[in-house]
Amino acid sequence: MEAVYRTCAQTGLKVHNHAERLIRANAVAGVVSILFGGIAAVLVLLTRWPAVHLLDPASFYRALTFHGINMLIFWIIFFEIAVLYFAGPIVLGSRLAWPRIGWVSFVLMVAGTLLINIAILQGKADVMFTSYAPMQAASYFYLGWILFAVGALVAVCNFFASLVVAKAERTYTGSIPLVTFGAATAGIIAVVTLAHGAIIYIPTWLWSLGIIEKIDPGIYRLIWWGLGHSSQQINVTAMVSIWYLLATLTVGATPINEKVCRSAFLLYILFINLASAHHLLVDPQLSPAWKIWNTSYGMYLAVLASMIHGMTVPASVEVAQRKKGLTKGLFEWLAKAPWGNPGFAALALSLSLFGFIGGITGVTFGAEQINIISHNTLRITGHFHATVVAGTTIAFMGLTYYVVPLIFRRHLISTKLATAQIYLFGIGMTIFIGGMTTAGSYAIPRRHWDVQFATSLFQPPVEAAAFAFLGIMGVGGLFALAGGALYVLITVGSVLFGRRVPDTPGAVPLAAMPQDKGQHVPIKGTTVLVLVFLASFIIYYFLNWKWLAAIWIVK
């Protein structure tokens, strides 16, 4: 396949045609997935809202399986592959190493997606996205996972091969940019993750065909979560890279210290793959020592990494803004930030919601003992809607509003609407998460059709407050769904009907880099913000120990 390049008039980047087309294809597949997942979310939300209780049990469990897989796996991973193709070949001005293989991997992923979705919709895989053995789905469901994982693995290898090509063909000099570095970190974690996927799904597939007799449920859970949780670390790493990217595109920020940022990314690789323990803390088959070491990723050094990024990203924004003369007081730089730019709105919401809600709840519920009062309740689903939805998904949405003009070369049909979309989704999600997590602290279970227990042998009384919080979850969820629908509309509408972006520099407004006069710029505002964060963290963490101490004694 012939390599053809164009030079982007907006960024000056050299764009390889196959890389660009593959970015488009993967982004489209991602948006289709979030549409599917979103339709299922409407049904799931309206069923878990006791006042509505829409679906029958079978349809609910089916819709929930469909929602989890299409959102968490398809939407996120297709988009991530698009990010890798951007951060590798395009940022480095090189070619995609293997264009044909790039398409093969895309086709594999699409085939896997179709097999899985067909299995679920046919009612042959009502097993949730975790499909805990010995619960069994039709064998083509597992085959779909294998195809998807192999496709994604090949795509990641293609990204790494492109880094090698760029180096060999000297398309750049010096060290790779931070965004590429972050993406490479995500890629390394992805390889480890997808290897777990192969280790668990190949035997499970053979078991579903009757070739292997038995799968140990304890070992299944251990290895499955090597895939399931580690893949969340790909999301975190990709999201943090996008934070740095959005900070550059929206306010012209430069990482304040490359050494610190890169070391923090390295900590992710070293420690984050241990986190499968988060899901196994109240399982019978593992020792406390194993649980403590692994749940803390070896003494929380990956949490340390996130706390470092949580400071360096806002600090880079503060420095850039102060260099532009916004130096009054602690927060002029923040007050006068481009809040009307959807990219910046997404950066700010993603960073703060991920940190304040997702991060704090995640570390707290992941403490071995506190997990006793959170495992499999709605506290957990609340937590991860704060990480992978309010964090990762909002970051992806913000980035989309740059992908459309720069890669699809269409103007957004309305930037104002795009900004409103981000706020609507972010605020709706915050209310939804607040309701869900709090309902969970009344022991309301996740993945449960009826918490009024109308058809069970015993009818446990449920506190009125728990129902009230489920109602709050429902209302917030509706706002978030409206925001999500708007995202799909704006994206599809702009790609199909947006004005063409002309090849004149400045047609897409990108932030100018502030003048660097070598002056020392203080980061007082950021320091205050991170200290507020730490205080919230400490309070929430110890409150949970207090709640834990109030339940029965168990050992």
Q: Which of other proteins, ligand HEM, none lies near 45, with the C-beta cut-off 5 to 8 A by kind?
A: ligand HEM
| Least distance (Å) between residue 159 CB and ligand HEM | 21
Q: Which of ligand HEM, other proteins, none lies near 322, with the C-beta cut-off 5 to 8 A by kind?
A: none
505 is a site residue for other proteins (CB under 8 A): no
In this complex, which beta carbon is closest to ligand HEM, that of residue 8 or of residue 77?
77
For 257: left if phi > 0, alpha if psi spans -120 to 50, otherwise beta; the answer is beta
In sequence order, the β-bridge partners of residue 172 are none
For 506: left if phi > 0, alpha if psi spans -120 to 50, otherwise beta; the answer is left
In this complex, which beta carbon is closest to other proteins, that of residue 153 or of residue 238?
238
In this complex, which beta carbon is closest to ligand HEM, that of residue 455 or of residue 515?
455
Q: What is the DSSP letter of 35?
A: H
Per CB under 6 A, the segment of 41-49, 209-217, 335-343, 363-371 that binds ligand HEM is 41-49
Residue 250: in which H helix or E strand, if any? helix 230-251
Site for other proteins in 68-127 (CB under 8 A): 91, 126-127
439 is a site residue for ligand HEM (CB under 6 A): no
Site for ligand HEM in 365-384 (CB under 6 A): 381
Cα separation, 276 vs 297, in Å, equals 9
Contacts 24+ apart (CB under 8 A), 321-324: 321/251, 322/521, 322/522, 323/514, 323/515, 323/516, 323/517, 323/519, 323/521, 324/514
Cα separation, 343 vs 419, in Å, equals 8
Q: Which of ligand HEM, other proteins, none lies near 389, with the C-beta cut-off 5 to 8 A by kind?
A: ligand HEM
555 is a site residue for other proteins (CB under 8 A): yes
| Least distance (Å) between residue 47 CB and other proteins | 11
9 is a site residue for other proteins (CB under 8 A): no
Q: Which of other proteins, ligand HEM, none lies near 129, with the C-beta cut-off 5 to 8 A by kind?
A: ligand HEM
Site for other proteins in 352-411 (CB under 8 A): 363, 367-369, 371-377
The residue among 353, 487, 552 whose CA lies nearest residue 41 is 487
When binding is defined by CB under 8 A, the residue of 304, 532, 539, 543 that contacts other proteins is 304
Q: Which residues contact 480 (CB under 8 A, 6 or more apart)?
A: 389, 424, 425, 428, 429, 432
| Least distance (Å) between residue 518 CB and other proteins | 12
Q: Collapsing DSSP states into helix, strand and coil, what is residue 424?
A: helix
In this complex, which beta carbon is closest to other proteins, that of residue 21 or of residue 53?
53
Cα separation, 360 vs 357, in Å, equals 6
Count of residues binding other proteins (CB under 8 A)? 108
When binding is defined by CB under 8 A, the residue of 142, 224, 225, 244 that contacts other proteins is 244
53 is a site residue for ligand HEM (CB under 6 A): no
45 is a site residue for ligand HEM (CB under 6 A): yes
- CB burial readout 368-383, b (16+ within 10 A) else e: bbbbebbbbbbbbbbb
Cα separation, 204 vs 548, in Å, equals 37
Q: Which tokens in the block code for residue 7?
A: 């030079």
In this complex, which beta carbon is closest to other proteins, that of residue 232 or of residue 526?
526
Peptide bond into 522 cis (omega under 30): no
Q: Collapsing DSSP states into helix, strand and coil, what is residue 516?
A: coil
| Least distance (Å) between residue 478 CB and ligand HEM | 8
CA separation, residue 363 to residues 150, 301, 360 (Å): 31, 12, 5
Q: Which tokens in the block code for residue 210?
A: 């009757």
Q: Collapsing DSSP states into helix, strand and coil, what is residue 237?
A: helix
> Is residue 63 within 8 Å of residue 384, measured between CB atoms?
no
Site for ligand HEM in 76-95 (CB under 6 A): 76
| Least distance (Å) between residue 76 CB and ligand HEM | 5
In this complex, which beta carbon is closest to other proteins, that of residue 411 or of residue 448?
448
In this complex, which beta carbon is closest to other proteins, that of residue 161 or of residue 282?
282
In sequence order, the β-bridge partners of residue 7 are 14
Residue 473: in which H helix or E strand, if any? helix 464-497
When binding is defined by CB under 6 A, the residue of 442, 446, 475, 493 that contacts ligand HEM is 446
In this complex, which beta carbon is closest to other proteins, that of residue 101 or of residue 301?
301
Phi, psi of 500 (to 5 degrees): -65, 140
210 is a site residue for other proteins (CB under 8 A): no
Q: Which of ligand HEM, other proteins, none lies near 178, with the C-beta cut-off 5 to 8 A by kind?
A: other proteins
In this complex, which beta carbon is closest to ligand HEM, that of residue 296 or of residue 491?
491
| Least distance (Å) between residue 501 CB and other proteins | 19
When binding is defined by CB under 6 A, the residue of 108, 320, 388, 486 that contacts ligand HEM is 388
> Is residue 406 within 8 Å of residue 497, measured between CB atoms?
no
288 is a site residue for other proteins (CB under 8 A): yes
* Window 393-422: contact mask with ligand HEM (x via CB under 6 A): x-----------------------------
The residue among 433, 347, 341 whose CA lies nearest residue 392 is 347
Residue 119: in which H helix or E strand, if any? helix 99-121
CA separation, residue 509 to residues 193, 312, 411 (Å): 37, 24, 11
**What residues make contact with ligand HEM under the rule CB under 6 A?**
41, 44-45, 48, 64, 67-68, 71-72, 75-76, 128-129, 381, 385, 388-389, 393, 432, 446-447, 477, 480-481, 484
